[in-house]
């Protein structure tokens, strides 16, 4: 057996090249940002140091909450084995689960509350949030290991300021900086600007929440999100629209984490977790937040929600799984379907809706800059794979039953029915 410290020359060369590529990308972006924000009072490297300072909350006893999450996870994990294949976690998520989520899965299955508490209280910086969160460029030691080098601080500050300014532009300056402040759950990292801590991804999550809110009519509303991650968009939706019922369908590990985040953020709201009650119209009506594994979408009552939404949640789905989800969306959604995703996925959704779900019509399409090289910082928060991708935001509206879709009529001339 080879000693562990011996690497094949080709492996060593590839690793060295990859590290150099990362360093060069950070250096270029950091220099670009330094020039762009020269003279801007916000460009202060101390803002990054303050933003990454540890703020773990150990003040409350969350044993009962964690027990509840473990019970729901164990039931979902057991039921997952017999669920239709379309609702199984994607291949990408299975890889993340196998490589990074072993400790948190073990804690959830064995009800190891002490271990689970330690991970969840620090989930922004812990491997239990792999696939949903991560240190810039994956450099956990560089950003979470103590003093942050100036290169890394300059890079992250440039990233944060670009995203903040893009958020202001996309929301027409309607919201003050303090609206980006989060609940502080999970020891978030980010940047401190003018006294406000802006955790990683806050700008995008708030933007999405406001877009969704603008699509809803006044009064009570019900929204379903597919792939809600740890609950970042849900937080701003629930905070800023108190008459909202929020439902999320996702992989069991993500649902467990979002349950922790949202239960801690909104202790006064009524939550429904998997296995606590049958998913029905009356159960949903009694809840403010419903968090379910993906396979439970089949139990949703028809025409029971106002808007369904996904932010990049469909990009990794197989063709068959995408068909199944769109069929569910058609069945349960009364008004709008809003999706943000890569160009190929957006095109597939448009084609499927045009051919098989003709009660929906594409009402709006816009290109999104959130994952561009400049706005994403070339890889912060897991955006590396999206940096060179074209992202679309698309809204589909339910047509009145008597009104034919022009898009469908045109598509029918050129496409055959599947």
pLDDT (0 to 100) of residue 333 = 97
Report the alpha-carbon distance of residue 262 to residue 267 in Å, rounded.
8
pLDDT (0 to 100) of residue 411 = 35
- In this predicted structure, the answer to whether residue 25 has a pLDDT above a threshold of 60 is yes
Specify if 11 maps to a domain: no
Report the alpha-carbon distance of residue 377 to residue 156 in Å, rounded.
8
Report the alpha-carbon distance of residue 162 to residue 150 in Å, rounded.
18
Specify if 10 maps to a domain: no
Specify if 31 maps to a domain: no
Which whole number is the average pLDDT over 27-38?
A: 91
Specify if 301 maps to a domain: yes
On average, the pLDDT of the chain sits at 89
For the stretch 329-363, pLDDT in tens is: 999 999 999 999 988 999 999 999 999 999 999 99
Neighbours of 406 (CB within 10 A): 10
- CATH number assigned to the domain comprising residue 96: 3.40.50.150
pLDDT (0 to 100) of residue 2 = 41
User: Domain range holding 236?
Assistant: 47-418
Specify if 19 maps to a domain: no
CA 48 to chain centre: 23
pLDDT (0 to 100) of residue 124 = 97
What tokens were used for 176? 């003050």
Mean pLDDT: which of 284-293, 371-380, 396-405 is highest?
284-293
Specify if 2 maps to a domain: no
- In this predicted structure, the answer to whether residue 115 has a pLDDT above a threshold of 80 is yes
What tokens were used for 16? 């060295």
> Which residues are registered as beta bridge partners of 309?
225, 338
Number of domains within the chain:
1
pTM of the model: 0.89
φ, ψ of residue 2 in degrees (nearest 5) = -70, 140
Specify if 175 maps to a domain: yes
Percent of the chain with pLDDT over 90: 76
Report the alpha-carbon distance of residue 402 to residue 166 in Å, rounded.
41
pLDDT (0 to 100) of residue 142 = 92
For the stretch 47-95, pLDDT in tens is: 999 999 999 988 888 999 999 999 999 999 999 999 999 999 999 999 9
Nearest to 418 by CA among 362, 351, 331: 351
Specify if 26 maps to a domain: no
- In this predicted structure, the answer to whether residue 405 has a pLDDT above a threshold of 80 is no
Report the alpha-carbon distance of residue 268 to residue 282 in Å, rounded.
20
Residue with tokens 């496409």: 415
Q: What is the DSSP letter of 184?
A: -
């Amino acid at each position: 057996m080879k000693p562990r410290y011996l690497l094949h020359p080709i492996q060593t060369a590839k690793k060295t090249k990859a590290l150099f590529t990362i360093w060069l990308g950070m250096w270029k972006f950091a220099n670009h940002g330094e020039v762009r924000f020269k003279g801007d009072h916000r460009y202060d490297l101390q803002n990054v140091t303050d933003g990454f300072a540890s703020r773990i909350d150990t003040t409350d006893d969350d044993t009962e909450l964690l027990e509840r999450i473990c019970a729901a996870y164990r039931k979902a994990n057991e039921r997952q084995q017999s669920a239709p294949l379309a609702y199984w976690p994607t291949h990408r998520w299975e890889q993340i689960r196998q490589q990074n989520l072993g400790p948190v899965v073990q804690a959830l299955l064995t009800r190891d509350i002490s271990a689970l508490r330690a991970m969840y209280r620090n989930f922004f910086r812990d491997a239990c949030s792999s696939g949903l969160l991560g240190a810039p460029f994956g450099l956990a030691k560089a950003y979470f290991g103590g003093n942050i080098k100036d290169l890394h601080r300059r890079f992250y500050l440039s990233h944060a300021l670009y995203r903040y300014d893009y958020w202001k532009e996309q929301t027409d300056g309607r919201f003050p900086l303090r609206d980006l402040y989060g609940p502080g759950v999970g020891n978030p990292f980010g940047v401190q600007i003018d006294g406000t801590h802006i955790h990683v991804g806050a700008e995008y999550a708030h933007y999405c929440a406001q877009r969704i809110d603008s699509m809803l009519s006044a009064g009570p509303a019900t929204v379903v999100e597919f792939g809600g991650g740890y609950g970042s968009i849900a937080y701003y939706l629930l905070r800023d629209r108190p008459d909202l019922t929020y439902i999320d369908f996702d992989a069991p590990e993500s649902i467990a984490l979002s349950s922790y985040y949202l239960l801690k953020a909104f202790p006064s709201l009524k939550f429904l977790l998997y296995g606590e009650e049958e998913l029905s119209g009356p159960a949903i009506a009694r809840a403010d937040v419903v968090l379910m594994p993906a396979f439970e979408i089949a139990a949703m009552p028809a025409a029971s929600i106002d808007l369904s939404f996904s932010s990049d949640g469909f990009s990794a789905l197989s063709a068959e799984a995408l068909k199944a989800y769109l069929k569910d969306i058609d069945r349960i959604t009364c008004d709008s379907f809003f999706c943000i995703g890569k160009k190929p996925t957006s095109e597939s959704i448009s084609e499927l809706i045009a051919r098989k779900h003709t009660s929906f019509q594409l009402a709006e399409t816009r290109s999104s800059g959130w994952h561009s090289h400049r706005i994403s910082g070339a890889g912060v928060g897991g955006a590396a794979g999206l940096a060179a991708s074209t992202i679309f935001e698309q809204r589909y509206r339910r047509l009145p039953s008597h009104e034919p879709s022009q898009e469908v009529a045109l598509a029918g001339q050129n496409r055959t029915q599947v």
